[in-house]
Amino acid sequence: MNSFRKRKVFIVLFLLFTNYLLAGNNEDGSKLWFANFLLPAEYEGPQISSVVVSEESPTFSLIRSELISSLGILFDQEITSMTEPDAGSICVGAIKNDFIAELINPEAFQEIGNEGYIIKYLPEKDMTVVAANTDLGCLYGTYHFLSVLRTNPQELTSTPIIETPAYDRRILNHWDNLDGTVERGYAGHSIWKWDDLPEKLNPRIIEYARANASVGINGTVLNNVNASPDILKEEFLQKVKVVADALRPYGMRVYLSVNFSSPKILGGLPDSDPLKTEVKNWWDNKVQEIYELIPDFGGFLVKANSEGQPGPQDYGRTHADGANMLADVLKPYKGIVMWRAFVYNPSGDDRAKQAYNEFKPLDGKFRSNVLIQVKNGPVDFQPREPFSPLFGAMEQTTLVPELQITKEYLGFSDHLAFLGTLFEEFLDTDTYQKGRNTTIARITNGDIFNDPVTAIAGVANIGQDTNWCGHHFAQANWYVFGRLAWDPGLSARDIAKEWLELTFSQNKRFIHEMSRVMMESREAVVNYMTPLGLHHLMGWSHHYGPEPWCEIPGARPDWLPKYYHKADDFGIGFNRSSTGSNAVEQYAEPLQIMFDDPQLCPDKYLLWFHHLPWDYTMSNGRELWDELCYKYSEGVDQAKLFKATWKNMSKYVDQQRYDEVSKKFDIQVKEAIWWRDACLLYFQTFSEKEIPVELDKPVHQLEKLKQLKFDMTHHN
Ligand code: BDP
pLDDT digits (tens, 9 = 90+) for 460-470: 999 999 999 99
Atom from ligand 1 closest to the CA of residue 375: 11
In the predicted model, what is the mean pLDDT of the chain? 95
| Strands 50-53, 80-81: pairing kind | parallel
Residue 17 has pLDDT above 90, yes or no: no
Neighbours of 24 (CB within 10 A): 15
Residues with CB under 6 A from ligand 1: 183-184, 225-226, 303, 307, 342, 380-381, 408
pTM of the model: 0.96
Short-list 174, 455, 208, CA closest to 337: 455
**CA-proximal residue: ligand 1, atom 13 (nearest):** 225
**CA-proximal residue: ligand 1, atom 9 (nearest):** 226
pLDDT for 168 equals 98
**CA-proximal residue: ligand 1, atom 12 (nearest):** 380
pLDDT for 348 equals 85
- 391 pLDDT band, cuts 50/70/90, is very high
- 485-499 mean pLDDT: 98
pLDDT for 25 equals 73
| CA 652 to each of CA 416, 464, 520, 646, 666: distance values in angstroms, whole numbers, following the listed order | 19, 27, 21, 10, 20
- 656-673 mean pLDDT: 98
For the stretch 211-221, pLDDT in tens is 999 999 999 99
Active site annotation includes 551: no
Short-list 511, 552, 569, 228, CA closest to 561: 552
Dihedral Cα 520, 535, 412, 553, nearest 10 deg: -160
User: Rounded to whole angstroms, how far apart are CA atoms 27 and 382?
Assistant: 32
For the stretch 117-161, pLDDT in tens is 999 999 999 999 999 999 999 999 999 999 999 999 999 998 899
> What DSSP string describes 559-593?
GSHHHHH---SSEES---STTTT-GGGGSPTTHHH
| Strands 127-132, 89-94: pairing kind | parallel
Active site annotation includes 76: no
- Going from the Cα of 434 to the center of ligand 1, the distance in angstroms, rounded, reads 31
- 95 pLDDT band, cuts 50/70/90, is confident
| CA 214 to each of CA 67, 73, 137, 208, 498: distance values in angstroms, whole numbers, following the listed order | 13, 17, 11, 10, 13
Amino acid identity for residue 698 in this structure: P
For the stretch 261-316, pLDDT in tens is 999 999 999 999 999 999 999 999 999 999 999 999 999 999 999 999 999 999 99
**CA-proximal residue: ligand 1, atom 2 (nearest):** 184
pLDDT for 346 equals 82
Residue 10 has pLDDT above 60, yes or no: no
Query: Where do the domains of the chain lie, and which CATH numbers do they carry?
Result: 40-163 (3.30.379.10), 169-503 (3.20.20.80), 527-574+611-715 (3.90.1330.10)
- 687 pLDDT band, cuts 50/70/90, is very high
pLDDT for 24 equals 53
pLDDT for 110 equals 78
Residue 71 has pLDDT above 70, yes or no: yes
**β-sheet with 127-132: strand ranges across:** 80-81, 50-53, 89-94, 127-132, 117-122, 161-163
For the stretch 160-184, pLDDT in tens is 999 999 999 999 999 999 999 999 9
Residue 37 has pLDDT above 90, yes or no: no
Instruction: Return the higher-pLDDT residue of 503 and 95.
Output: 503
| Strands 571-572, 169-173: pairing kind | unpaired
Residue 246 has pLDDT above 70, yes or no: yes
pLDDT for 72 equals 97
- 23 pLDDT band, cuts 50/70/90, is very low
Mutation choice for ligand 1 from 175, 221, 409, CB with most ligand atoms inside 8 A: 175
For the stretch 449-462, pLDDT in tens is 999 999 999 999 99
For the stretch 324-351, pLDDT in tens is 999 999 999 999 999 999 999 888 899 9
- Going from the Cα of 133 to the center of ligand 1, the distance in angstroms, rounded, reads 39
Selecting among 380, 402, 424, 451, the annotated active-site residue is 380
User: Rounded to whole angstroms, how far apart are CA atoms 121 and 103?
Assistant: 10
- Going from the Cα of 191 to the center of ligand 1, the distance in angstroms, rounded, reads 20
- Going from the Cα of 497 to the center of ligand 1, the distance in angstroms, rounded, reads 31
Angle (CA) 712-713-716 rounded to 5° is 100
Selecting among 135, 408, 451, 547, the annotated active-site residue is 408
pLDDT for 15 equals 42
b/e per residue, 51-87, with b = 16+ CB within 10 A?
A: bbbbbeeebbebbbebbbebbeebbeeebeeeeebee
Q: Strand locations in 149-196, DSSP E?
A: 161-163, 169-173
- 6 pLDDT band, cuts 50/70/90, is low
Residue 2 has pLDDT above 70, yes or no: no
Active site annotation includes 380: yes
Strand partners of residue 120:
129
Instruction: Return the higher-pLDDT residue of 213 and 20.
Output: 213
